[in-house]
């Protein structure tokens, strides 16, 4: 396990991004399959009617099997779409089966923006988030753009009704001992790796 306290955030990001990029195609496929097994029959996934996922990039663990399963079960699936303005924000847009995607300015596939199919984050039941690094305490290190943090900032002001549930998805090799959270960081409900679940305050399962 990596000791995060010895590295700056940029250094830690570089190290963890290189670690996941160095996984072989076979390792990536096995990890994606194991992630599917961890989540597909779990109550968190089964109960949610509106789910936000992502399309894997830069060595991220691939939730494509979960996305296909969600559509098969008739769930509403939403993907991030970067806003043209302000360029530091994103929307969540419903994905239609068989929809043609385009590349955004970071080279990540996304639906063509259509405000009629976009919803506020708080109306989701479950958000499955990509990450660069994580710890057992709900800490998440993202890519540094702040898109998810800005979208979830409203949760900092809520004490009761806190939707959606936030679950990070990761390769086990992205785990660190402890992340120092910034004021804008939103703790995760749980993190699921290709090996196990991590929930703050409980033993890994």
Is 98 flagged in the annotation as binding?
no
Is 74 flagged in the annotation as binding?
no
Is 147 flagged in the annotation as binding?
yes
Is 73 flagged in the annotation as binding?
no
Q: Cβ distance 192 to 170 under 8 Å?
A: yes
Is 82 flagged in the annotation as binding?
no
What is the total residue count of the chain? 205
Is 125 flagged in the annotation as binding?
no
Is 143 flagged in the annotation as binding?
yes
For residue 80, the cross-strand partners are 92
User: What is the Cα–Cα distance from 197 to 57, expressed in whole angstroms?
Assistant: 22
User: What is the Cα–Cα distance from 10 to 29, expressed in whole angstroms?
Assistant: 28
Q: Cβ distance 172 to 195 under 8 Å?
A: yes
Is 110 flagged in the annotation as binding?
no
Is 144 flagged in the annotation as binding?
yes
Kindly state the tokens that stand for 164: 């959606």
Is 55 flagged in the annotation as binding?
yes
Residue closest to 54 by CA, chosen among 138, 128, 135, 160? 128
Is 141 flagged in the annotation as binding?
yes
User: What is the Cα–Cα distance from 71 to 53, expressed in whole angstroms?
Assistant: 12
Annotated binding site for substrate: which residue ranges? 55, 60
Annotated binding site for ATP: which residue ranges? 140-148
Annotated binding site: which residue ranges? 55, 60, 140-148
């Amino acid at each position: 396990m990596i000791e995060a306290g010895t590295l700056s955030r940029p250094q830690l990001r570089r190290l963890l991004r290189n670690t996941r990029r160095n996984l072989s195609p076979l390792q990536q496929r096995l990890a994606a399959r194991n992630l599917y097994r961890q989540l597909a029959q779990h109550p968190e996934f089964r109960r949610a009617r509106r789910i936000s996922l992502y399309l894997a990039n830069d060595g991220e663990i691939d939730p494509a099997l979960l996305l296909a399963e969600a559509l098969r079960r008739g769930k509403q699936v939403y993907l991030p779409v970067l806003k043209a303005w302000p360029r530091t924000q994103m929307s969540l847009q419903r994905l239609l089966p068989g929809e043609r995607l385009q590349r955004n300015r970071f080279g990540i596939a996304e639906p063509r923006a259509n405000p009629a199919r976009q919803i506020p984050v708080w109306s989701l039941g479950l958000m499955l988030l990509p990450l660069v690094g994580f710890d057992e305490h709900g800490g998440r290190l993202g890519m540094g753009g702040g898109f998810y943090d800005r979208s979830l900032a409203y949760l900092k002001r809520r004490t009761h009704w806190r939707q959606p549930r936030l679950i990070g998805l990761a390769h086990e090799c992205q785990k660190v001992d402890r992340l120092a959270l910034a004021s804008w960081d939103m703790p995760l409900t749980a993190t699921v790796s290709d090996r196990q679940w991590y929930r703050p305050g409980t033993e890994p399962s």
